[in-house]
Structure formats: structure tokens, C-alpha cells
Chain A
Amino acid sequence: MTCSAPRLLLQHLTRNVQGLNATLSVAGYKSAVSLDKIYPASDLDVTKLQTPPKTDGLNFSGYVPMNKVQVTYSRSNGPGGQNVNKINTKVDLRLQVTTADWLSPELKERIAKKYKSSITADGFLVVRSDKTRSQQLNLADAMDKLRHMIHTAAYVPPPPSAEDEERARRR
């Protein structure tokens, strides 16, 4: 039976005790500090779909669609005995730069230029991480590195101010 002890009890009561209406779900029970009273303006929906922020021009929103990125795992190097020999903790994150439609064309150009050395002959931008002992944390680190790469590629330094130009002219 796929039921916990209180549920079993309530089921037994509803079947065997006459005149007792025991409701299985106490969704009816709301105390004075229930969530709808603490957050009256909210829809309280934990499954609400979030719209990912868009990247336009050189404003990278930070959103990376995971279905457009290839992640492979392999064994890390270094000491660690049986654990490092057997567990795949190294993460290899690949992203086809030219076909990434979630990035704007000018941003893709800048990435291709700045991170030429990280792009393979096939056009894949490769990010690797074996920083920690955990595959999950390494993937988080790889995502962080990828975002850092995109942000630095998108960064345009501000034009020199009049004072800087004056100083450069004087030299």
C-alpha cells in the first residue's frame, strides 16, 4: 500500500467507523500563519514556469540553455587512489558558437575572437573543470567559467574621457 501511517489510519477510519468523515488531505487546514496569509498577493505556485531572460546585443543575460550545450564526463587526473581512478568527476562542456541562436551575432563574433584558443577546429568552445571531487560541483564551476568567458567577451571598455586624452597627448 502506497500510504504513510496517518493516511492508513484515516483510510481505516473512513471505512470502518460509521458516521465519521475523515478527510485524507487536510488541505482545508489553514492556520493564522499559513502561506496565503503571509503572502496574500502571491499565487503560491512553486511550479510556475519562469521565462528565461533574453540576450540582446552585447548584454549577456546570463542564461545558458542546457539543451544547446554538450556535457561529457571523464576521469580527473592527479592523486586520489581508487576514487580518482573510477569516478568520473571531470566535466567537459562544449558549445557550438556559430549555431548558438541564444547569443547575438556580435557577441558570437567577440567570443570567437577573444577565445580563439579555446575553440576547436569544429567550432566548439570547450570549457573543462576538475576543480572539486564532485561531478556536480565541477559542472557548476564549468558553467561559471563559461559565463565568465561570455561576460568578458561582451565587455567593452568605456571610451577615454577628455582628461585621459589630454594626459595621453601631453606624454
Chain B
Amino acid sequence: MTSSGTEKALSLLRRLPRVSIGNLGPNPGAHNEKRRGRGIYGGKTHGAGSGGSGQRQNFMRVGYETGNTPFYLRFSYQTYYKGHHLKLSYTPLCMGKLQMMIDTNRLRCDVPVDVTQLMATGLFSISPQQKEGGFMLENEGIDHFKATINIEVQWANEAVIASVERNGGFITTAYFDPLSLTAAIKPVEFFGRGIAIPRRMLPPQHLIDYYSDPKNRGYLADPAEVARERFLLAQKYGYELPDVNASPNKDILLERKDPRQIFFGLEPGWVVNLKDKVILKPTDPELKEHFAS
């Protein structure tokens, strides 16, 4: 026969929550709450942390301007920040720096160069969470650029495109959404997470025109129109377009990613296990359909 004391204890055990860090406390008298005195004005009873309005500091509401109509009520809306949360910034990369990286063997141009390759040089940092979109190529040093390269960046102007193409190279501008960019810039870290490679999302509304334009060598543009634009640009900038069919690196120069692909040679849906050196591919038809959509 159990005593009422035991019964009480057991019923308590049933009712009360599990003992954890959050519901443990010291025994009374375990901690000495005495504070050092700081003269007649310090200690427990004086200062901002002690009682009444002194504790609460008597703040007025946020934005209150002591009577006059406050700024946030005068101008409830400012157009200068419209769409600020959508605007992306790009890491500038000068053509001169690109040439230097190639010359010093920091970047190899015998493989297609994309965000992953550029980040692998270790010279740049991109934080997609801070609304950074990737790389943009700049004019500085276009006269000294001599490499034949297949490069994929996020933004490039006309003079830069001319500079790449006059040397027999190819340039593509491609959009990476924040999640895909996070994977692309640090692939080993991404593979370590053990999740399937995601599909790259299409550009948002305000960027889709840019990436569909053959003049910008957008990755969503018609390659036949891009061929025409290459010819026109060569005429505009006064050079003869080198024949890529005669080049020994033809396959490398013409290699392109699918719009949904993040990495060259890897498909969305695959799980790359670097530790065991295996790639796991989905077999479920629903998954396969999703990753091919």
C-alpha cells in the first residue's frame, strides 16, 4: 500500500514538466545579491535600474518630436526607397583584374568560368543575404584583355562584351537567385549539408528583360539572335569576329548551362556526397518530374 506522500510525489511527477535548464533555480541564499555601493548615489536603490519611472526612463513614443507633427506623419511615404528590397548589388570585377588572375594562374581559362570558379580564387566575398547578386564586369582594362575565355557573370556592359568576343571568347549573363547563389559560391559547404541541388529560379520581373536580351548576351536569349548581335558588335567596335570552329577549345567555349542548372556537370536533384565520393540521384518519378520542371 503506497503512502499518500508517495502518491503525491508520483502525481506531481506526472503533472510537472521535465526538469531542464529552463526550470532550475538556485536554492534561496545560494547567490549573494549584495551589490557594491557607489557612494550615496549608487547601489541597489539608486540609478536608472531601480524602481518607478526612473526604471522606465520616461520615454515618449518612438518618432514623437515634442509636439510638432513628426516626420513619419508628415511624409508617410517616400518614393526614393521604392523597391529597395528588390534591388541587387553586384561585386565589380575589372577586366584588368580578370586578366591578371589568368596570367598569375589564379583563374583557369581552360574550363568555363562562372561564379563558382571566380569565388574559388579566394579573392572575393559575396553575401546573397545582403542582396548581392554576383559579379559584374567593368570597363577598366579592356584594352589589355587578351584571354580567350568562356565566362558567365551576372552583368556586363557592351564594351566588356566586345572585349571578350574580340579575343575569341564567349560571355553570358546569368541570374542566380539567393539560394542558388549561396550554393554556387560555396559548393563544398553546400554539398556538406547533404541536400539535393536545387533548381535555379528564373529572374524576377524587373530583371527578366535584361536576361532575355541577346544584346546583353542573356542566358535566356535566343542563341541565333546572340550570333547576330555578336556580328553587329564586331562591326560597331571594329574587329573581325574570330572563328570559334577553328579553335582547339571549341567545346569549352560553347559549353552552356541549362537555365535551371547551378553547376556545370551536375543536375538539380542530385545529392553529392564528397565524403564517400558518391552522387545520389533521385529515382522516384515524382521527384524526377519536379527537378526536371
Contact = CB atoms under 8 A, between A and B. Distances in A.
Contacts of B163: 136
A135 interface: yes
Nearest to B117: A4
Contacts of A139: 237-239
Interface in A39-80: 39, 42-48, 50, 52, 62-64, 66-67, 69, 71
A62 B231 CA distance: 12
B265 A67 contact: no
Interface stretch (A30-38, A113-121, A155-163): A30-38
A3 to B, nearest CB: 7
B267 interface: yes
A13 B279 contact: yes
Contacts of A144: 236
B143 interface: yes
Contacts of A63: 235
B15 interface: no
Interface residues of A, number: 54
Interface string A74-95: 0000000000000101000100
A3 B220 CA distance: 26
Given A4-B264, A13-B278, A32-B293, A48 B224 contact: yes
Interface stretch (B18-26, B65-73, B253-261): B253-261
B222 A42 contact: yes
B153 interface: no
Contact of A34 (B170, B254, B258): B258
B277 A50 contact: no
Nearest to A73: B143
B90 interface: no
Contacts of A89: 143
Given A46-B170, A47-B244, A66 B239 contact: yes
A85 B268 CA distance: 53
Interface in A104-156: 134-137, 139-140, 142-144
B159 interface: yes
B238 A66 contact: yes
B292 A45 contact: no
Interface in A7-46: 7, 9-10, 12-13, 16-17, 20, 22, 24-26, 29-35, 38-39, 42-46
B224 A45 contact: yes
A1 B147 CA distance: 19
- Most A-side CB within 10 Å, residue of B139, B237, B266: B237
A146 to B, nearest CB: 9
Nearest to A34: B258
Interface in B252-293: 254-255, 258-261, 263-268, 272, 274, 277-279, 292-293
Given A13-B279, A17-B277, A87-B143, A140 B227 contact: no
B272 to A, nearest CB: 7
Interface string B94-122: 00000000000000101110001100100
Given A17-B278, A69-B238, 11 more contacts: A13-B277, A13-B279, A22-B279, A26-B261, A26-B266, A45-B224, A47-B254, A66-B240, A135-B143, A136-B162, A142-B238
15 contacts: A6-B265, A9-B274, A10-B279, A13-B279, A34-B259, A42-B225, A43-B224, A46-B227, A50-B227, A63-B235, A87-B143, A136-B159, A136-B163, A136-B237, A143-B236
The 3 closest A-B pairs by CB, nearest first: A31-B260, A6-B265, A50-B231
